[in-house]
Amino acid sequence: MKIGLFFGSFNPIHVGHLIIANTMATATDLEQVWFVVSPQNPFKKNKSLLHEFDRFDMVERAIADNARLKATDFEFHLTRPSYTIDTLIRLLEKYPQHEFRLIMGEDNLAQFPNWKNYEKILEYVGLYVYPRPNAAPHNFGNHPRVTFVAAPLLDISATFIRESLRNGRSIRYLVPEVVEEMIGRKKFFV
């Protein structure tokens, strides 16, 4: 099967992530998208980062009704911070029957050359990129291993959701109802 791996902190998962994953799973040659929840992004030092179990729980609830979307805690058992190439090598070993692509938002492309062994990521799996508003310029526009997926721009971020919660503003419709309910009940990000 051809599978898109959607790595992220998902702190928390929002409707932008869901639209991206569903677009990749239905409007491209990918048959499934797996959300790979990262315990610790090597580039992010975020004081408000929830425990990975809670972020994973929210992802699972958010995608429960979509058979093409799966969540995996694969990185929880690997060394930290979470370097994507290390995880990919393990995934390729574990699932030789599958073909993988790495899904990312365009904002990550400018920094991508600073990722550990980024050339190997391109060689082993290649990228499917979702456009993002205000993404910094990058040099991957014509790269043969990078596919740009045409889709609506989504000006929504986990940062905005966390700020909204801190300021007592509603996050209704920015996250699925089950995620809003869990954030409220557990008093996350306040």
Site residues, ligand NCN (CB under 6 A): 7-9, 38, 41-44, 82-85, 115-116
Q: How far is the CB of 117 from ligand NCN (least distance, A)?
A: 8
Q: Residues 69 to 98: which contact ligand ATP by CB under 6 A? A: none
SS3 of 142, please?
coil
Q: Compute the chain's Rg from CA coordinates.
A: 16
Choice between 15 and 85, CB closer to ligand NCN: 85
| 154 near ligand ATP (CB under 6 A) | yes
Q: How far is the CB of 84 from ligand NCN (least distance, A)?
A: 4
**Residues 6+ positions from 112 with CB-CB distance below 8 Å:** 104, 118, 138, 140
The residues facing 32 across adjacent strands are: 3
| 127 near ligand ATP (CB under 6 A) | no
From the list 31, 73, 99, 107, which residue makes contact with ligand ATP (rule: CB under 6 A)? 107
Q: Interface residues with ligand ATP (CB under 6 A)?
A: 8-11, 16-17, 20, 104-105, 107-108, 130, 132, 154, 156-159
